[in-house]
Amino acid sequence: MEKISITIDGYSLEVDPGKSILNAALEADLYIPHLCHHPDLPDVGECRLCVVEIEGGGEIRTSCKTQVEDGMVIHTKTEKLNAMRRLSMELMLANHVDDCTTCPKYLKCELQSLIQYLEVSTSRLRRTLNSVPVNTSNPLFVRDLNRCVSCGRCVRACKELRGVDVLDYQMTEDDRVMVDIKNHHSMEEEHCRFCGACVEVCPTGALQDKEGVLKPNLNWDLELVPCKAECPAHTDVPRYIRAIKEGRYQDAIAIIREKAPFPHSLGYVCMAFCESVCRRKEINQSLSIRELKKFAADKDEGLWRERANFKPKTGKRVAVIGSGPAGLTAAYYLTKLGHEVTVFERLPVAGGMLTTGIPKYRLPREAVQEEISEIIRAGVTILTNTPIESLTDLKAKGFDKILLAVGAGKGNRLPIEGADYNNVYENIDFLKGVSLGSSELVGDRVVVLGGGNVAFDCARSAIRLGAKEVVIACLETREAMTASEDEILEGLKEGVKLLNGRTFLRIEGLNDKGTGVRCQEVSSFTFDESGKLQLILKPDSEHVIKADTIIFAAGQKPEIPQDWDVPVKRGNLIATENEIKVIGRNDLFAAGDAVYGTHSVIQAIAAGRKAASVIGQELNGDGDIEDKLTNDVIPSQYLGREEGFLEANRNECMDDCYNDSSACGEAGRCLQCDLRTQITRPKLWIHYKIK
């Protein structure tokens, strides 16, 4: 297209015809004051701050609504224009509260910035201080109309950008025009989609996110998208949810795989931190993100493989000790960075907690095996039944770097009498035994001591092994138990009995065999300054819980062989810098539970990714492990009105997994918080070159 020539304040510009004068100026980094204009919205010429004078007639026009014409000579900063702008501002501010310092948008407000630029004296303003109550009645946003200047950006964003059309100008009882929900309804009644576009484009503090809804101090695209921010691996949740909704299943699995090589396993056992912060839960229930992930993983046809980025071979060798999710994730990404990676596993099977910790009924082994096979296909060598006795010997085999990803594989036994009877197990050993097929682990009566998720894994496994009576006894009250509510409810449903508020005095027994746990009831407990447990016991409450099998589920710690000579800290955790580099060593790294204690699978995966990146850099590479496994599909900004959208309840996926239609329905409940990150953030005058 042939350009045309214009002059703005003496600057000659070549611009595309059809553009507004305002856009032509702003694109040339030349500031003209404006407020109702927003780069993503149609212009309406409402605020009249963008007025300019065009030579040849001295006409004054709003520059946002006036197209450039060849040869135009435009002035933007004459005295007359400034006076007009100041008047427009004063009119706008007439109903605006003057307590900027209490506004959440203070120092980030476009209006405040304009007041400063135009040197409008706020003290001169005559105010009609009929304050309107701040509306906090909806679950996500605060509407403070006392800060509204009726620029109408929110109305246009809702109507034109999103096609939802919830907002409009409304007449108040005292004849003021204000932006409000249509028909003076609630946002819910008008089928708001809670996308946040109105809040995003509001130039003042009139529309705000409720406190606590956003996560401050993060990158912009994380702050607005809590599910992605909360996921330790920052999986792009809204992007794969949208792909599922649109039936692009191969895109969905590729997006998940951009951050984690265990999508299927995660679909079964992820702790789903994303769901706990999903904004949809403020409306009714959070999205069923983990189940949708499992659905996508079930559909995986491996098309993403073609796009997986494998860098040229570097000739460098890395040893990874431990084949749990942290170790295998690190091994996978290090292989993609071009290094030769060998994983050493002391057990007969690879997978760590995925195969020997988490019970089969929660995580089918085929899902894990398939994912491990994929890692092997990528080029990782896994040696099972291969314990490492000496790091020095291992290093001598020609490894440039060693990563310790040994997990927290040693259970804690409480120091009470009888703890070493031969029918007393530690949680990890018990679960490992179950996973590896040891039979006869349990008798008829099983008592598990502890109140976390692992206690339930042990108890529910014992039921599956044929135990007739399974009791979980723990110090905490039912409400204070650390196990997830789901686990507790499932356990109770399966017949696990709970005994809360118990302290354990000793294990009673005969001939090396425990016969019961002597307990006492606890009224309350605290920890003193040194972290020591202080109990208040109920008098005369001693009793024995009879047992044929007793399992300690009182936490785990890493098992670090003495000969490794690795610095450890409290809890036998490996001492590291930045949770990766073993202190005092250049060739030794550590990741996962062995560094920070028992956590989730997704945290281990995130730790493995970080380890791969850091080790990659230490091996003189860029450590860039980011993958782009599918084409970007630019999401539509248009949402449209959808009756029933807010009422749609979470589909709990009763038949174990979704089908195409129920998955699409559940994905359709997403508020698509990420669409807001695509809205342009207007620059303030201070950021323009020519002001």
Binding site for ligand FES (CB under 6 A): 34-37, 45-50, 62, 64
- d(CA 675, CA 537) in angstroms, rounded, equals 55
Compute the least distance from the CB of residue 89 to ligand FES, in Å: 11
Q: What is the DSSP letter of 106?
A: T
CB of 91 to ligand FES, least distance (A): 13
Q: How far apart are CA 233 and CA 253, in angstroms?
A: 15
The residue (of 48 and 228) whose beta carbon lies closer to ligand FES is: 48
254 within 8 A of 248, measured Cβ to Cβ: no
Sign of CA dihedral 184, 188, 191, 194: positive
Among residues 25 and 225, whose Cβ is nearest to ligand FES? 25
- Shortest Å, Cβ 2 to ligand FES: 27
- Helix, strand and coil percent figures for the chain, each rounded to 5: 35, 20, 50
Identity of the residue, 31 or 332, whose beta carbon is nearer to ligand FES in the bound complex: 31
Least gap, CB of 47 to ligand FES (angstroms) = 3
Q: Rank residues 203 and 443 by Cβ distance to ligand FES and give the closer one.
A: 203
Looking at residue 157, what DSSP letter applies? I
Cα distance between residue 265 and residue 257, in whole Å: 12
- Let me know: does 145 contact 211? Beta carbons within 8 Å: no
What's the CA gap between 68 and 16, in Å, rounded? 8
Closer of 62 and 461 to ligand FES (Cβ): 62
DSSP 30: B
**Distance between CA atoms of residues 325 and 260, nearest Å:** 10
If the CB atoms of residues 45 and 571 are measured against ligand FES, the closer one turns out to be 45
Q: Pseudo-torsion of CA 272, 276, 279, 284, nearest 10°?
A: 110
Identify whether the C-beta of residue 498 lies closer than 8 Å to the C-beta of residue 472. yes
CB atoms < 10 A from the CB of 288, how many? Answer: 24
For residue 481, how many other CB atoms are within 10 A of its CB?
Answer: 22
Give me the least distance between CB of 165 and ligand FES, in Å please.
22
**Closer residue to ligand FES (CB): 85 or 669:** 85
Q: Is 43 or 618 the residue whose CB approaches ligand FES more closely?
A: 43
Nearer to ligand FES, 35 or 467 (CB): 35
* Smallest gap from residue 294 Cβ to ligand FES (A): 49
Q: What span, in angstroms and rounded, lies between the C-alpha atoms of 243 and 77?
A: 49
Distance, in Å, from the CA atom of 552 to the CA atom of 143, rounded to the nearest integer, reads 53
Nearer to ligand FES, 74 or 368 (CB): 74
User: Of 156 and 245, which has the nearer Cβ to ligand FES?
Assistant: 156
* DSSP structure string for 444-496: SEEEEE--SHHHHHHHHHHHHTT-SEEEEE-SS-TTT--S-HHHHHHHHHHT-
CB nearer to ligand FES: give 25 or 588.
Answer: 25
**Smaller CB distance to ligand FES: residue 36 or 550?**
36
Cα–Cα distance list, 51 to 67, 76, 397, 504, 574 (Å):
13, 7, 75, 80, 65
Cα separation of 337 and 333, whole Å?
6
- Least distance between ligand FES and beta carbon 112 (Å): 17
For 173-259, strand residue ranges (E) read 177-181, 207-209
CB of 218 to ligand FES, least distance (A): 31
Phi, psi dihedral angles at 517 (to 5 degrees)? -115, 120
Least Cβ distance, residue 189 to ligand FES (angstroms)? 31
Smallest distance, ligand FES to C-beta of residue 98, A: 22
Whole-number minimum distance, CB 61 to ligand FES, in Å?
Answer: 10
Q: Would you say 64 or 588 has its CB closer to ligand FES?
A: 64
Coil, strand, or helix at residue 170? strand
| Beta carbon of residue 38, minimum distance to ligand FES (angstroms, whole number) | 9
**Amino acid in position 94:** A
Smallest gap, in angstroms, from Cβ of residue 31 to ligand FES?
12
- Residues 180, 192 contacting (CB under 8 angstroms): no
**Dist. CA 449–CA 473, nearest whole Å:** 5
Q: Which residues, in sequence order, are CB contacts of 354 under 8 Å at separation 6+?
A: 262, 265, 324, 325, 363, 368, 601
DSSP code per residue over 363-383: S-HHHHHHHHHHHHHTT-EEE
**42 φ, ψ (degrees, to nearest 5):** -65, 145
Least separation in angstroms between residue 152's CB and ligand FES is 9
User: Would you state the structure tokens that stand for residue 263, as one six-digit string?
Assistant: 């999508």
Between residues 40 and 46, which has the closer beta carbon with respect to ligand FES?
46
Residues 267/293, Cβ–Cβ less than 8 Å: yes
The secondary structure element, H or E, covering residue 274 is helix 273-277
Provide the minimum distance between the beta carbon of 103 and ligand FES in the complex, in angstroms, as a whole number: 21
